[in-house]
Amino acid sequence: MVGLQNTLLISVAALAIGLIIGTLMATIKLIPSSEKLPVKVLKKIVDAYVALFRGTPIVVQLLIMYFVALPLIGLARVPPLIVAMIAFGLNSGAYVSEMVRGGILSVDKGQMEAGRTLGLTYVQTMKLIILPQAIKNIVPMIGNEFIALIKETSVVSFIAVIDLTKAFKQIGDATYEYIIPYLMLALCYLILVLGITYLLRLVERRMRRSDRD
Amino acid sequence: MIETKGISKSFAGKLVLDDISVKVEKGEKVVIVGPSGSGKSTFLRCLNLLEVPDKGEVWFEGQQTNRPGVNINEVRRKMGMVFQSFNLFPHLTVMKNLTLALTTLGLKPEEEAQEIAHGLLKKIGLSEKAYQYPSKLSGGQKQRVAIIRALALNPDVMLFDEPTSSLDPEMVEEVLKVMKELAEEGMTMVVVTHEMGFAKSVGTRILFMDEGKIKENAPPEQFFNDPQNDRLKEFLSKVLVKIV
């Protein structure tokens, strides 16, 4: 049970961190007509961030975070569970930023123009017109990201966190019987993912209502 | 009311608007025609600064608008705009489309905004569509709603960017009718269009644009019967043959 709890805990926390970082970075990338230097620098940082976290394996990021990065800034004693949340959160942020950006860009640019010609500000148009439409595209992608996180977190035992995978491995180690624990493990992940998929479908269906009316 | 003084605009190194100076007086109905790519839409979009000119000045109601420190949102509120692709907000009902700006900008309380919307819907005969989503409307109905969405803010001028170009032929007339009524009520209008019939009957002045320049600027009789510019003569011979 501790294993299941940790798997869910890490995934949820990572998604939350990812959403915050991702939305922030997507917003930076979408700042209009940015010839100003600070904005340009920020955009470069975001690009580098996305390239870095998408370009290296998550296990490597996890190991670096635990054994290199945190000790380097004097935080060697952070519990591994928290480290896992942060590592997966930072990683997720890179993916989420691309999802949010894609979702916003998929809204026809005439919508922004229509909002602005009615005298609405950029922020008002974003909030009332663009985002409500973008959300419909973003939510399914975020759901997939959550599913990916649940599965990817199966590597956290590298830094001694007991998650679902580690828990079943321990059962196997204790009984010298691996077939049933590992098949059960696979079944656990499958049930989790199918459950989440089902919930996502419900949410999506609700959101598509205005399209059918 | 609106004046441009020598505005130029390039996209990716290509000059789209070349030193254009035009004045539109209150109550005028200025129609802009010309071949595709001549810069007429860009020019229209410069009037409310959806495109910002690289050079030159845009004036509206005695104020230069393309200048730092001007609240462009307040300026745009007085300039209604209608697009070729309607750009209704698909996630909102027709009613919400009409009242959103009024209530968000704090110009009218919700109830009053709805009254205005109902009045406008009645005028274009679409009262029964008030609580439907735009996806349920035909192209012509969408464009009529887009027109009254702009009118809800009680603008001083209306800009039309090829309002009938993406409509099925049988729906063009219903949109033009709304525009004609608007013209008769005295609205100042700037219309980019390919509808020569509309230009002739409603326009008080017609501009011919080609290669980023205004090549002719004349009242309709002179524009159609005695064109001066050679490119315009060629253009008219082509489009007018099409009408016959």
Mean pLDDT of B53-74: 93
Note the pLDDT tens digit of each residue in B89-128. 999 999 999 999 999 999 999 999 999 999 999 999 999 9
Domain ranges for chain A: 2-154
pLDDT surpassing 80 at residue B242: no
pLDDT surpassing 90 at residue A2: no
Note the pLDDT tens digit of each residue in B178-205. 999 999 999 999 999 999 999 999 999 9
Are the Cβ atoms of B104 and A129 closer than 8 angstroms? no
The answer to whether the CB of A182 falls within 8 A of the CB of A158 is no
Chain A residues lying within 8 Å of B91, measured CB to CB: 129, 132-133, 210
Chain A residues lying within 8 Å of B87, measured CB to CB: 108, 110-111, 113-114
Percent of chain A scoring above 70 in pLDDT = 96
Task: Select the residue of A110, A119, A128 nearest B83 (Cβ to Cβ).
Answer: A110
Chain A residues lying within 8 Å of B77, measured CB to CB: 118-119
Q: Is the dihedral of CA A109, A138, A25, A127 positive or negative?
A: positive
d(CA B5, CA B22): 7
Confidence band for A76, pLDDT divided at 50, 70 and 90:
confident
pLDDT surpassing 70 at residue B234: yes
Confidence band for A33, pLDDT divided at 50, 70 and 90:
low
In this prediction the ipTM stands at 0.90
Note the pLDDT tens digit of each residue in A129-138. 999 999 989 9
Chain A residues lying within 8 Å of B88, measured CB to CB: 114
Confidence band for A210, pLDDT divided at 50, 70 and 90:
low
**pTM of the entire predicted model:** 0.84
What residue of B is the nearest CA neighbor of A210? B91
pLDDT, position A36: 72
Confidence band for A204, pLDDT divided at 50, 70 and 90:
confident
| Cα dist from A67 to A74, A77, A130, B110, whole Å | 11, 11, 42, 58
The DSSP-derived string for B172-240 is HHHHHHHHHHHHHTT-EEEEE-S-HHHHHHH-SEEEEEETTEEEEEE-HHHHHHS---HHHHHHHHHHH
Are the Cβ atoms of B87 and A120 closer than 8 angstroms? no
Note the pLDDT tens digit of each residue in B6-52. 999 999 899 999 999 999 999 999 999 999 889 999 999 999 999 99
Mean pLDDT of B208-228: 93
Architecture of the domain whose range is A2-154:
Orthogonal Bundle (1.10)
Note the pLDDT tens digit of each residue in B130-188. 999 999 999 999 999 999 999 999 999 999 999 999 999 999 999 999 999 999 999 99
What residues of chain B have any CB closer than 8 angstroms to a CB in chain A?
A: 48, 50, 73-74, 76-77, 79-81, 83, 85, 87-91, 100-101, 104-105, 132-133, 135-136, 149-150, 153
Q: What strands lie across the sheet with B63-64, from one edge to the other?
A: B14-24, B2-11, B55-60, B63-64
Chain A residues lying within 8 Å of B105, measured CB to CB: 119-120
pLDDT, position A213: 46
